[in-house]
Structure 1
Amino acid sequence: MLKDKNIFLRPFIEEDSEALLDLLIRNRSFFEKFSMERSIDFYTRESQRKRIEQFEEDRKTDLAYNFGIFKHDDSLIGTINLFQVLRGSLQSAFIGYFLDEQYNGKGYMTDAVTLVIDYAFNELELHRIEAGVMPHNIGSIRVLEKSGFHKEGIAVKNVKINGKWEDHQVLAIINPND
C-alpha cells in the first residue's frame, strides 16, 4: 500500500469489482472524453472482476501495475496505473489515470501520481515514465507538471478516441537517481 495524508493506493482485489464498476458507470461520459469508447459489456461486474484478475496477472509478469485511489474512508475515487513496462535497456513505463469527476481539482491526482512515481523509481527501479495527454486536457497536464514531468512534444494523431485520431502532448519524468 502507498499512502500520504489524503489518499492511499493499493492493487485492486476481487472485492473491489463493485466499487470499480460504480466509479466507471458514474463517470462514464466524463472518462470517455479522454479515452476509448467502451462496449456495453465493459460496464458489468463480471467484466470488472476479469479486469482485476488481469491486473494481478500483469503485476506478476511485470507488464503493468494497476492501483485503486482510495480516500482514507476506503472509498474508491480513481485509478492509476503504470503500463507497457519495458525492461532491459529502456527500464520505462507509461502512466495513466482516471479520477472521479467530483474530486477533480482538489490535489488527489497529484498526490497519486507522486506516490506512483516514487514506487516506479524506488521499488520497480524504472528509469523513465512517459504520459500522453490530449492538449486540451489542461488539468491533467498541470497534474503531471506539478509532479515533475516535463513536456517533450506533440505526438500527432496517435490515439483513437471516440472514433477520431487525437494528438497527445507527450510528457516524461526521468529517475533522478540515474
Structure 2
Amino acid sequence: MDDMLLVGGSIYLRTLEEGDAAALAGLIKSNKTFWGETEPDWETGFSRVTNQLQNIQYFRDGFSRDEFYTFGIFERRSNSLIGVINLYDVKRGPFQSASAGIAIDKNNNSKGVGTDSLKLLLSFAFNSINLNRVSAEVMPRNAASVRVLEKAGFQSEGLKRENILVNGRWESHLQYALLKKEWA
C-alpha cells in the first residue's frame, strides 16, 4: 500500500506507519478519560505499543482492501500526532457510502482541527474514492462534534435511540449525512 498524504492549513492527514505506534499509544493513553466520555470501553492493554502496531497493520490492510480508511491527524508545525480520523464501513455497489469517525487530542479540541480534518477526509471520500454519501453519528451532548459536522455541511437525519453502551449506560446518537452533490 502506498502512503497517502492529505494537506490542510495547520494539519495534515497521513496513513499511519509502524513508526507511529508509540505516538498512537501515547495519544490513546493520554486521552482515555476524555475520549471515554463518548466511546465504548477499550479492552485492557489497548494503549500498548504492541497493540497499536497490530492496529496500524490492520488499518493498512483495510485501506488496501477498500474496506476502511484510517489516517493520523498531524500538526504541520510540529509533525505531532494529534488525532485519528477514518472512513469505515465502506459499502460499494449501489451504495457508494461510508461512515466517518474522528478522535482529537483533548489539548487540540475546539481549535478547528476537527473541521479541517473532516474537510480533508470528505475531499478524499468524494473526489478520490468516489463515494456518494458519508454519514456520521454523534451523541447529542457532544456539542463540539455536532458543530464540526454542521460546519462541514452535514445534515441531521434523526436520532438513533440507545444504540451503543458507553460506561454502562445506553447512549443515543444523532445521525448525520452529507451527499457528494452537497459537498462544496
TM over 0.5: yes
Instruction: Give the Å deviation of 1:4.
Output: 1.3
Report the AA paired with residue 146 of structure 2. Answer: I
Tell me, yes or no, if the aligned pair for 2:153 and 2:182 is still in contact at 8 Å: no
- The answer to whether residue 135 in structure 2 is matched with residue 130 in structure 1 is yes
Between the aligned partners of 1:86 and 1:80, the Cα distance in structure 2 is 18
Between the aligned partners of 1:127 and 1:159, the Cα distance in structure 2 is 26
For residues 21-59 of structure 1, give each alpha carbon's deviation from its aligned partner in whole angstroms, at most 9, with x where no partner exists: 010111110011111101222121110000000001101
Greater shift, 34-43 or 65-74, is seen at 34-43
Name 2:25's counterpart in structure 1.
21
Q: Secondary structure at the match of 2:79?
A: coil
Name 1:110's counterpart in structure 2.
115
Name 1:156's counterpart in structure 2.
161
State how many pairs are aligned.
178
Between the aligned partners of 1:34 and 1:105, the Cα distance in structure 2 is 16
Name 1:144's counterpart in structure 2.
149
Report the AA paired with residue 21 of structure 2. Answer: S
**TM-score between the two structures when normalised by the length of structure 1:** 0.97
Please list every run of 5 or more consecutive structure 2 residues that lacks an aligned counterpart in the other structure. none
Between the aligned partners of 1:162 and 1:87, the Cα distance in structure 2 is 33
- The answer to whether residue 68 in structure 2 is matched with residue 69 in structure 1 is no
For residues 94-137 of structure 1, give each alpha carbon's deviation from its aligned partner in whole angstroms, at most 9, with x where no partner exists: 00010000111110110000000000000010000000000000
Q: 100, 107, 118: which is aligned to 2:105?
A: 100
Q: Secondary structure at the match of 2:28?
A: helix
- The answer to whether residue 60 in structure 2 is matched with residue 53 in structure 1 is no
Instruction: Give the Å deviation of 1:177.
Output: 7.5
**TM-score between the two structures when normalised by the length of structure 2:** 0.94
Instruction: Give the Å deviation of 1:163.
Output: 2.2
Name 2:48's counterpart in structure 1.
44
Between the aligned partners of 2:151 and 2:14, the Cα distance in structure 1 is 22
Name 1:166's counterpart in structure 2.
171
Please list every run of 5 or more consecutive structure 1 residues that lacks an aligned counterpart in the other structure. none
Report the AA paired with residue 28 of structure 2. Answer: L
Structure 1 consecutive aligned stretches of length 4 or more whose deviation exceeds 3 Å: none
Q: Secondary structure at the match of 1:115?
A: helix
Between the aligned partners of 1:97 and 1:173, the Cα distance in structure 2 is 16
Report the AA paired with residue 52 of structure 1. Answer: I
Q: Secondary structure at the match of 2:46?
A: helix
